[in-house]
Chain A
Amino acid sequence: MTDIKFVQAFTGAELGQGTVGRNDSVMEVAIREGVPGIFAECGGSMSCATCHVFISPQDNTHFEEQDISEAEMVEELEKCTSESRLSCQLFIEGDATDVITIRVVEEE
């Protein structure tokens, strides 16, 4: 289990925290914990891009790599940066010992 901290990407405001297990996506944790700004309009099927987050390259190494389809979706988003991921595709690989920070891009 890995601890996650959610903050607003642009204001830094703390939005919540949770723990992610093997079959959970970061998006599911966010929904469970009521983190504002993460919607899951397509229920986590990588079809809507309403779960956009920023994650540092360091933290990103703990998750399954981004595949081409996710990249294609994310690259079309207005606020896309090199640290963008769709949180519905963030599945943990191994256990991180430090808390991972997820920066939520959209406002509620």
Chain B
Amino acid sequence: MSAHASVGTLIVGAGQAGIQLALSLRSHGYEAPVLVAGEESDSPYQRPPLSKTFFRNDGDGSLLPFRSDSVYAKHNIELRLGERVTRIDHDLKIAYCESGMSVTYEHLALTVGGTAKRLEIPGLLEGHGRSARGIYSLRTAEDARSLRNALTSASRVVVIGGGFIGLEFTASARELGCDVTVLVARSRILSRVAPPVVSQLLHNAHTRRGVHIRLNTEIRRIIVTGGAVSGIELSDGTMVPCDLVLVGIGLSPRNELAKALGITCIDGAICVDAAGRTSLDGVVAAGDCTTFTSWVDGTHITHESVSNAVDQAKVVAATIAGIEAPPRPEPWFWSDQYDLKLQSVGISHPDDELEIDLDEDTETLVAIHRRNGAVRAVTTVNRPREFMRARKDLERFALESVR
């Protein structure tokens, strides 16, 4: 293990975006050395299964790698796992790592993703020190393994947050036979990421399967007994007993390196242009850590998804390789909860006009989002054919319109 590497491109972060970037660089014929430094020790893996199939009893809790290790070697991509980049001197173009390794680079790519947001409530764990056993977040394989272990002896689960990760975990825990209560701060689940009709459909799907959902809920305190969580006290005085808590209240982008470099961030996310460039020359970024400008209305958008990570990484690869990137496809997204599969394509907006085809009995939905008469997004639940068609239609639309 050398203490110094000299590379063409240093990719910080070995997740979906980082790995895609490395592979795409090679497929563009980029031959300079590529080094991917990832903080996590597991061979780069797919995150989405961690809130879904990972917890199944018939599974073995193994990870799904993006590629086998030999593929990276075959493409001359150097992978350094368990390696954290701590400091970057962009004037000299040197990155310093925790292990003592330093890397000089020509191009720097930040594909650092984010961390699960922590609960910030004054007096949350009053009288019990700063922590309690039984409280988890879910972002890494390490988190998922801890949770999988904890679920073997848990019976009363509380999920804090009404977003996709929380709901997927809710479904997993419920299917394992746990009693599950979801505590949602806002007036509906998925309030930030889906239209009301989707919130309603999924809410009903969960309650129909025995999950308790409390909306407009404010948490006052976490009750700890013998060093482990035993209940959640709500602001209205209600006590929700539990032995396992998952906090799923969103993602905080890992912007430390970017901020230290003075790179422009908005709401904590690294700003990138259509080519994936940040405000600092020679530094690009892709994936969950970024915010980009909508090609529809110029607003700043984050799209925390595999598709965004992959598509942004491909654009960034073209940028670094000096090739013009084709316009990126519309981002798409999916979520699996019980036997319900939500699939959506495009970027929706609260002001969209919705054309809705809903069947509450079969729990299926097609919602077409229009703005200024044009289809901007389609959201489906258990309607895969319409989803696949929408992906094709939106792509055609995008190719025809001026961006």
Chain A residues within CB distance 8 Å of chain B: 23, 28, 31-34, 40-49, 69, 72-73, 75-77, 108
Which residues B35-69 have CB closer than 8 A to chain A?
46, 48-49, 52-53, 58-60, 64-68
Question: Contacting chain A: which of B159-167, B170-178, B383-391?
Answer: B383-391
Instruction: Give the residue name and chain of the B residue nearest to A69 (CB).
Output: B384
Whether B341 sits at the interface, judged by CB under 8 Å, is yes
Whether B86 sits at the interface, judged by CB under 8 Å, is no
- Minimum CB–CB distance for A21 against chain B, Å: 11
Chain B residues near A48: list those with CB within 8 A. Answer: 332, 334
Instruction: Give the residue name and chain of the A residue nearest to B334 (CB).
Output: A47
Instruction: Give the residue name and chain of the B residue nearest to A78 (CB).
Output: B392
13 contacts between A and B (CB under 8 A): A31-B67, A32-B65, A32-B68, A34-B71, A43-B46, A43-B48, A45-B52, A45-B53, A45-B336, A46-B341, A49-B388, A75-B385, A77-B388
A46 to B335: give the CA distance in the assembly, Å: 11
Q: Is the CB of B53 within 8 A of A72?
A: no
Whether B25 sits at the interface, judged by CB under 8 Å, is no
Q: Chain A contact residues: over half helix, strand or loop, or mixed?
A: loop
Chain A residues near B64: list those with CB within 8 A. Answer: 28, 31, 40, 43-44
Beyond the given pairs A45-B53, A72-B388, 16 more chain A to chain B contacts, judged by CB atoms under 8 angstroms and listed by A's residue number, are: A23-B59, A23-B60, A31-B64, A31-B66, A32-B65, A34-B68, A34-B71, A42-B306, A43-B306, A45-B48, A45-B341, A46-B341, A48-B332, A48-B334, A69-B341, A108-B27
Q: Is the CB of A76 within 8 A of B336?
A: no
Q: Is the CB of B310 within 8 A of A73?
A: no
Chain B residues within CB distance 8 Å of chain A: 27, 46, 48-49, 52-53, 58-60, 64-68, 70-71, 74, 306-307, 310, 332, 334, 336, 341, 343, 382, 384-385, 388-389, 392
A32 to B59: give the CA distance in the assembly, Å: 17
Instruction: Give the residue name and chain of the B residue nearest to A36 (CB).
Output: B71
Chain B residues near A40: list those with CB within 8 A. Answer: 46, 64
Q: Is the CB of B49 within 8 A of A43?
A: yes
Q: Is the CB of B65 within 8 A of A31?
A: yes
- Minimum CB–CB distance for B169 against chain A, Å: 15
Instruction: Give the residue name and chain of the B residue nearest to A70 (CB).
Output: B384
4 smallest beta-carbon distances between A and B, as pairs: A76-B388, A47-B334, A72-B385, A43-B46
Instruction: Give the residue name and chain of the A residue nearest to B392 (CB).
Output: A76
Residue of B53, B66, B384 with most chain A CB atoms under a 10 A cut-off = B384
Instruction: Give the residue name and chain of the A residue nearest to B339 (CB).
Output: A69
- Minimum CB–CB distance for B332 against chain A, Å: 8
A33 to B66: give the CA distance in the assembly, Å: 11
Chain B residues near A75: list those with CB within 8 A. Answer: 385, 388
Chain A residues near B382: list those with CB within 8 A. Answer: 69
Known: A41-B306, A45-B53. A73 touches B68 (CB 8 A): no
A73 to B389: give the CA distance in the assembly, Å: 9
Known: A45-B53, A69-B341, A73-B388. A34 touches B48 (CB 8 A): no
